[in-house]
């Protein structure tokens, strides 16, 4: 097998070189645009197109034109492969070709493949990415230009407009704001409760109380009590509807009551019904924040939303941003579930590692 790279000023010229040297049977492995600075002092930027093509047999058509690379540092290369090597690389080539075909069928323009591929690598749902580029190209069609902005900047602005962020908490006068954190096991609810309590009690000088419904996990209440002593914040443990209602009444003079709950697997559908009954017994509105880890898979996030749907969560709070590798699923979540983000956490420090959610932060995580 023969694999070669071809460089030219544009896609059409590069493709013509492929046909001349490898013939019509050549497979296009990948296409990319290369930017470089021929004059470092001037800072001028030039670009070219690189096509990687493969041929199972040696070419019979040879070009009469001299093989002079556009950029001296980037030379063409060839690599002979055995039949077994071809069998190993063939699925990769087919996958690359399939992605290229899908992108072209979606109406992507020349030069948009890199940006489209970046979104997919970041975990943005392919269907959502296709819709974004359709909107991008339709906007180009209406205006004919982007008023000096790059396609990345326009795409970022479009994605940012689709993200909703509602934070921090809006405290009430004359009665406590009750906020419950619910979510799966290991999402970081208890630590997040401590961070929020510190934010309001220590930094904003508000009267705060913590109520724990987590009687299942060993040490959960003790962990909160340790934080409470440091912050001079009362920590109560409640079991069942009657106990929860009495505890809420006991702290009706507070500005904010934070409720910690037991973590459950997304397969547990009964626990949310128990929580709904407990919250309804409080005599006041309970604002529910669904706590999810940014490291969770898309499908797990979707199932967790379904699990807690009976509670009609008001906000979503994403934790462990410091452990995330890709962040496209934050955008997927916002588009699918239309649930505003409230806070983000990134680390174990109390109260430092928490921030009010912002759409610009999500966009930077995806593109930077």
* pLDDT tens by residue, 99-125: 556 655 567 877 788 899 999 999 999
Longest alpha-carbon distance in the chain? 90
Q: Are residues 341 and 252 in the same domain?
A: yes
Same domain, 82 and 113: no
Q: Based on the domain organization, do 226 and 329 belong to the same domain? A: yes
Say if residue 143 is in the same domain as residue 182. no
| C-alpha dihedral sign at 149, 155, 156, 159 | positive
Render pLDDT for 132-169 as a digit per residue (tens, 0 to 9): 998 888 876 555 556 678 889 999 999 999 999 998 99
How much is the mean pLDDT over the chain?
A: 82
Q: In whole angstroms, what is the distance from residue 118 CA to residue 159 CA?
A: 14
Two tokens at 323?
A: 């452990």
* Torsion angles phi and psi, residue 33, rounded to 5: -100, 135
Burial of 141 per CB tally in 10 Å (0-12, 13-18, 19+): exposed
Q: Which of 52, 73, 102 is the last residue of a domain?
A: 102
3-state secondary structure of 356: strand
Which range has the worst mean pLDDT, 87-96, 179-188, 206-215, 226-235? Answer: 87-96
Q: Tell me the C-alpha distance between 307 and 290, whole Å.
A: 11
Residue with tokens 């000096």: 148
Whether residue 344 sits in one domain with residue 286: yes
Q: How far apart are CA 272 and CA 275, in angstroms?
A: 5
In the predicted model, what is the mean pLDDT of residues 254-268?
86
Stronger pLDDT, 350 or 206, i.e. the higher one:
206
Cβ proximity of 233 and 201 under 8 Å: yes
Percent of the chain at pLDDT > 90 equals 51
Picking from 102, 135, 169, the residue at the C-terminal end of a domain is 102
Task: Provide mean pLDDT across the span 269-287.
Answer: 88
For residue 168, being part of any structural domain is answered with no
Residue 172 lies in a domain: no
Q: Phi/psi zone of residue 147: left (φ > 0), alpha (ψ -120 to 50 degrees), beta?
A: left
Q: Which of 81-95, 112-126, 283-297 has the lowest mean pLDDT?
A: 81-95
Residue 147, Cβ density class (10 Å: 0-12 exposed, 13-18 middle, ≥19 buried): exposed
One domain for residues 148 and 93: no
Domain span including residue 59: 1-102
Q: Is the pLDDT of residue 40 over 50?
A: no
Cα 257 to Cα 222: distance, rounded to the nearest angstrom: 18
Give a yes or no: residue 181 inside a domain: yes
Given a cut of 70, is residue 74 above it in pLDDT? Answer: no
Residue 41 has pLDDT above 90, yes or no: no
pLDDT for position 107: 72
350 pLDDT tier (thresholds 50, 70, 90): confident
Per-residue pLDDT at 79: 47
Give residue 16's pLDDT: 82
Return d(Cα 229, Cα 330) in angstroms, integer.
35
- In this structure, is residue 337 part of a structural domain? yes
Q: What is the DSSP letter of 176?
A: P
Alpha-helical runs (H) found in 199-284: 220-231, 240-250, 271-280
Task: Clarify whether residues 218 and 352 are in a common domain.
Answer: yes
Residues 352 and 204 in one domain: yes
Separation between Cα atoms, residue 136 and residue 22, nearest integer Å = 35
88 and 36 within one domain: yes
pLDDT tens profile 200-214: 999 999 999 999 997
CA distance 249 to 134: 54
Q: Evaluate whether residue 170 is within a structural domain.
A: no
What is the spatial distance between Cα 103 and Cα 299, in angstroms, rounded to a whole number? 24
Question: Is the pTM higher than 0.75?
Answer: no
Strand order across the beta sheet in which 44-55 lies: 2-8, 44-55, 27-39
Quote the tokens at residue 352.
Answer: 């430092």
> For 301-308, what is the mean pLDDT?
93
User: Is the domain of 248 the same as that of 356?
Assistant: yes
Cβ-based neighbour number of residue 336 at 10 Å: 15
The residues, any chain, with a CB within 8 Å of residue 208's CB and separated by 6 or more, are: 197, 200, 201, 231, 233, 254, 255, 256, 257, 258
Q: At what angle do helices 151-161 and 126-143 cross, to 10 degrees?
A: 120
Q: Does residue 133 fall inside a structural domain?
A: yes
Q: Is residue 199 part of a domain?
A: yes
Query: What letter does residue 310 receive in the DSSP assignment?
Result: G
Checking if the pLDDT of 291 tops 90, the result is yes
Burial class (CB within 10 angstroms; exposed 0-12, middle 13-18, buried 19+) of 278: buried
CATH of the domain at 214: 3.40.50.300
Instruction: Look at residues 102, 127, 149 and tell me which one is the last residue of a structural domain.
Output: 102
Residue 98: pLDDT band by 50, 70, 90 thresholds?
low
135 shares its domain with 214: no
- How sure is the predictor about 77, in pLDDT bands with cuts at 50, 70 and 90? very low
Of all residues in the chain, what percent carry a pLDDT higher than 70? Answer: 77
Cβ pair 193, 210 in contact under 8 A: yes
Neighbours of 128 (CB within 10 A): 16
Q: Are residues 44 and 123 in the same domain?
A: no
**Res. 19: pLDDT tops 60:** yes
Decide: helix, strand or coil at residue 85: helix
User: Is residue 358 over pLDDT 90?
Assistant: yes
How do 256-260 and 208-212 pair as beta strands? parallel
Q: Domain tally for the chain?
A: 3
Q: What is the dihedral of CA 62, 87, 32, 8, to 10 degrees?
A: 0
Residue 169: inside a domain, yes or no? no
């Amino acid at each position: 097998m023969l694999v070669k790279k071809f460089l030219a000023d544009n896609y059409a010229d590069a493709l013509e070189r492929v046909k001349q040297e490898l013939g019509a049977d050549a497979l296009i492995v990948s296409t990319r645009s290369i930017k470089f600075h021929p004059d470092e002092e001037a800072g001028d930027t030039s670009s070219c197109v690189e096509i990687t093509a493969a041929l199972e047999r040696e070419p019979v058509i040879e070009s009469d034109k001299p093989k002079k690379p556009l950029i001296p540092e980037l030379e063409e290369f060839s690599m002979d492969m055995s039949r077994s090597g071809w069998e190993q690389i063939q699925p990769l080539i087919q996958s690359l070709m399939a992605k290229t075909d899908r992108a072209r069928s979606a109406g992507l323009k020349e030069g948009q493949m890199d940006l489209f591929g970046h979104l997919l690598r970041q975990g943005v749902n392919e269907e959502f990415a296709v819709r974004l580029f359709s909107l991008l190209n339709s906007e180009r069609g209406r205006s004919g230009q982007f008023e000096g902005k790059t396609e990345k900047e326009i795409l970022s602005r479009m994605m940012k407009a689709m993200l909703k962020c509602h934070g921090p908490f809006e405290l009430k006068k004359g009665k406590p704001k009750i906020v419950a954190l619910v979510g799966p096991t290991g999402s970081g609810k208890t630590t997040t409760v401590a961070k929020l309590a510190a934010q309001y009690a220590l930094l904003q000088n508000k009267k705060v109380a913590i109520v724990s419904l987590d009687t299942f996990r060993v040490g959960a209440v003790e962990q909160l009590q340790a934080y409470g002593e440091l912050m001079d914040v009362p920590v109560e443990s409640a079991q069942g509807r009657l106990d929860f209602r009495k505890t809420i009444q006991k702290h009706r003079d507070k500005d904010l009551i934070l409720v910690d709950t037991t973590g459950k697997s997304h397969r547990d559908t009964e626990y949310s019904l128990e929580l709904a009954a407990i919250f309804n017994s409080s005599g006041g509105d309970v604002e529910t924040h669904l706590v999810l880890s940014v490291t969770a898979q898309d499908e797990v996030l979707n199932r967790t939303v379904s699990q807690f749907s009976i509670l009609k969560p008001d906000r979503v709070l994403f934790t462990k941003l410091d452990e995330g590798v890709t962040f496209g699923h934050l955008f997927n979540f916002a588009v699918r579930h239309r649930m505003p983000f409230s806070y983000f956490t990134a680390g174990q420090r109390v109260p430092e590692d928490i921030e009010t959610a912002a759409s610009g932060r999500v966009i930077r995580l995806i593109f930077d």
